[in-house]
Amino acid sequence: MQQRELARLDDFASHLRDERRLSPHTLSSYRRDLESAVRFCDEQGIERWSELHPQQVRAFAAQQHRQGLGGSSIQRRLSALRSFCRYLIREGVLAGNPAQDIRAPKTPRRLPHSLDVDRVQRLLNGKPGDWLGQRDLAMMELMYSSGLRLAELVGLDLQQLDLQQGQVRVLGKGSKTRVVPVGRTALEVLRNWLKTRALHCADGETALFINRSGKRLGARSVQQRMRRWALQQGLDSRLHPHMLRHSFATHVLESSGDLRAVQELLGHANLSTTQIYTHLDFQSLARVYDKAHPRARKPGKGS
């Protein structure tokens, strides 16, 4: 592909960063997905984006499938390509969107992994060994209390946390702000953390959670620390931060049955995204039903 055409990827990245205010993590994902489309164009001898037609986009999706990519990953790459083409239309480079009606093959939707209430209690009842452990406990309490994404957690500044009102103002996907409650236990742990933080933070640092050097903590460090904490508490599963968000959503839905409220708390743009938690809730209900209903039990069990 011609150098001028490749430069349009950089222009698109600037558009995503400056106008749509997407996170660096999301920007890198867009870049990787579009680079796969560039490789396909090079293989097909396509030198300009204006030469890309729907049948070629369909062939691109088929190629990704043959290479073993799952349906959701292919759909993500097509979505990135559609967004890029919409940008090119806006810039007058394209007259239409060749990726508009191309869809990836559907794959079964995987249910998110979550912890049951007992395992969450076991996780959060652990005792910190030092100030970094105190920080880790505060992070986990806040994630479970308020259903935060990892990027939202590490992006938090001090002024976004309101201990008096018991709430946190979160900057979510697409620069959308939401205010979510913080539970009593999490507030207590956070108050203790703020006292400790003041002793270790670098001058002028605004981040709520800091690293060993007193600067803002990174996402990778959060993942590693949470995994280590879970092992120390004897949990057999590999804990990742999103499991606490999933656990939050599952437990709130099981207790309240209010799907719309869970949608607001999670910051989902569409209710369909939140509805996956109804499947988790149904699974727990089904287990209760199988054990309790006289016509559901197998012969010889409780009869």
Residue tagged active-site, from 58, 82, 240, 242: 242
Distance of CA 260 to the CA centre of its chain: 19
Residue tagged active-site, from 77, 245, 246, 251: 245
* C-alpha to C-alpha distance for 82 and 69, rounded to whole angstroms: 18
Distance of CA 31 to the CA centre of its chain: 18
Would residue 173 show up in a list of annotated catalytic residues for this protein?
yes
Q: CA-CA distances (angstroms) from residue 130 to 136, 193, 292, 296?
A: 10, 11, 46, 51
Q: How many residues does this entry show for the chain?
A: 303
Would residue 238 show up in a list of annotated catalytic residues for this protein?
no
148: DSSP letter: -
Residue tagged active-site, from 119, 246, 251, 268: 268
User: Are residues 210 and 201 in contact, defined by beta-carbon separation less than 8 angstroms?
Assistant: yes
Would residue 109 show up in a list of annotated catalytic residues for this protein?
no
Sole residue written with tokens 């009102």: 165
Q: Which two tokens stand for residue 43?
A: 């293989």
Residue tagged active-site, from 173, 200, 227, 240: 173
Would residue 149 show up in a list of annotated catalytic residues for this protein?
yes
Torsion sign (Cα): 232, 236, 242, 244: negative
Residue tagged active-site, from 8, 149, 197, 246: 149
Would residue 242 show up in a list of annotated catalytic residues for this protein?
yes
* C-alpha to C-alpha distance for 287 and 284, rounded to whole angstroms: 5
Q: Which two tokens stand for residue 84?
A: 């890029």
Would residue 240 show up in a list of annotated catalytic residues for this protein?
no
User: Are residues 57 and 44 in contact, defined by beta-carbon separation less than 8 angstroms?
Assistant: no
The residues that are catalytic are 149, 173, 242, 245, 268, 277
